[in-house]
Amino acid sequence: MKIAVLAGDGIGQEIMVEALRVLETLRLPDLQLNFADVGGVAYKAHGHPLPQETLDLVMSSDAVLFGAVGDPSYDDLDRHLRPEQAVLGLRKEMQTFANLRPARAFAGLENLSALKPEIAGAIDLLILRELTGDIYFGDKGRRETADGLRQGYDEMAYDESEIARIAHAAFKAAQGRRGKLCSVDKANVLQTSVLWREVVNEIADDYPDVELEHMYVDNAAMQMVRNPGQFDVMLTGNIFGDILSDQASMCVGSIGLLASASLGEGSRGLYEPIHGSAPDIAGRGIANPMAMILSVAMMLRHSFADENNAVRIEQAVAAVLEQGILGHDLGGKASTIEIGDAVVAALS
C-alpha cells in the first residue's frame, strides 16, 4: 500500500495529521507513506506548485491523499504558477476523470443543516462529477473586442467518449446503491448538454436495472433544497458538479464533512476533502478533519478494495458526531486534535 501524502497549504497540514493517525490505527500491513510538497508550499520550496518530484511520486503510488491548496499570498502569480493549478495538473496527469462526492445526513446533525431537519435527514446521495473536461480545461483567455472593450472567454466542450466513460461509472454506481440515476445538464441552452443527454440515453440501454431521469441544472439546485431525499446518484459535468456538491455540503451541515475520490480507469485514485485550504483559520487548531478522515475511508474502498476498514472509519465518524463531538464549523468547540482523538478512540 504505497500512498503519496500531499498535505498542501493552510489547514491541509493540520487535517492530514489526524487522517494519518486514523489510518495508522488500523495497523494495515505493508503500509508505506511517502510525503511531498504541493501547492503554495511547493512553489515556495521548488518554484512550482506541482514539482516534477511530486508528480513522479504520485505516478509511482497506489493512491494519493491530498489535503488542500491555496494561499492568498500567491494570488499575483501567473495563473500556471498559482497553488490551485496543482489540483488540475494532478487530475490531468493521473487521468482521473470521475469525481465521486457522497453526501449523507449524519444522525444528530439534522438541526445543523440549512434545511428543515426532516428534509435534511433524508439526504443520502452520490454526485459523480466529470473531472477532466468542460469549461475548466477548454481554451480560455482575454482579448479585445472590435470596439476596444476587454473580453474574457472560456470554452466548454465535451466529446462523446468523455461523456460515455463518466456515464458508465455513474450507472455502475447506481447499480450498487438504490438503482436511480439523475443526469444533470442544461440541454435547453447548451450544445454540450444536448450531446451529453444523447450519449447518456444511448448508454442507458446497457443498464436496464437503473432508473434514469434527466434534470436541468437550475432545477436540480432547487430540488436539492426542496426534496434532496429523491436523489440517489447524480451525474454531472465538471462545472455543474463543482457547484452542486458544495450546495450538498451545506444541506448536510458543513463542507467540513464531505470527502471525495477522483478515479480513472484503474484502481489508483486521488482522495481529498472538497473544502479548500481555509487560510483564515489555518494554524489555529480548529479545522474540522472529518472530511479528510472520510477521504481515507474512500481510499481504502476504491483503491485497496478494503470495504471492512472503510466502513469501520465511517462508523467511527458517525459515532463521534452522534456523541456531539463537533468542530467549530458545526457549532461545537472540539479542536482538530480532539476530533482526531475521538475517531481514533472509536476505532480502538
295/329 same-domain check? yes
Query: Which domain-ending residue is among 235, 252, 269?
Result: 252
Domain membership of residue 267 as a residue range: 1-109+258-348
Between helix 336-347 and helix 307-322 the angle, nearest 10°, is 120
88/201 same-domain check? no
Secondary structure, 3-state, 163-186: HHHHHHHHHHHHHCCCCEEEEEEC
- Phi-psi category of residue 10: left, alpha or beta, with phi > 0 → left and psi -120 to 50 → alpha: left
Cα 67 from Cα 100, distance rounded (Å): 16
3-state secondary structure of 25: helix
Query: Which domain-ending residue is among 252, 286, 301?
Result: 252
The answer to the question of residue 154 being in a domain is: yes
- For 300-348, how does the pLDDT look when each residue is reduced to its tens digit (9 = 90+)? 999 999 999 999 999 999 999 999 999 999 999 999 999 999 999 999 8
12/78 same-domain check? yes
Cα 57 from Cα 294, distance rounded (Å): 23
Whole-prediction pTM: 0.90
Question: Which CATH number characterizes residue 132's domain?
Answer: 3.40.718.10
- 179 pLDDT band, cuts 50/70/90, is very high
pLDDT for 88 equals 86
Q: How far apart are the first and last CA of the chain?
A: 21
Q: Which residues are catalytic?
A: 136, 186, 218, 242, 246
239/155 same-domain check? yes
- For 74-107, how does the pLDDT look when each residue is reduced to its tens digit (9 = 90+)? 988 888 899 989 998 998 899 999 999 999 999 8
Residue entry with cell 455543474: 240
225/298 same-domain check? no
Query: Which domain-ending residue is among 217, 252, 287?
Result: 252
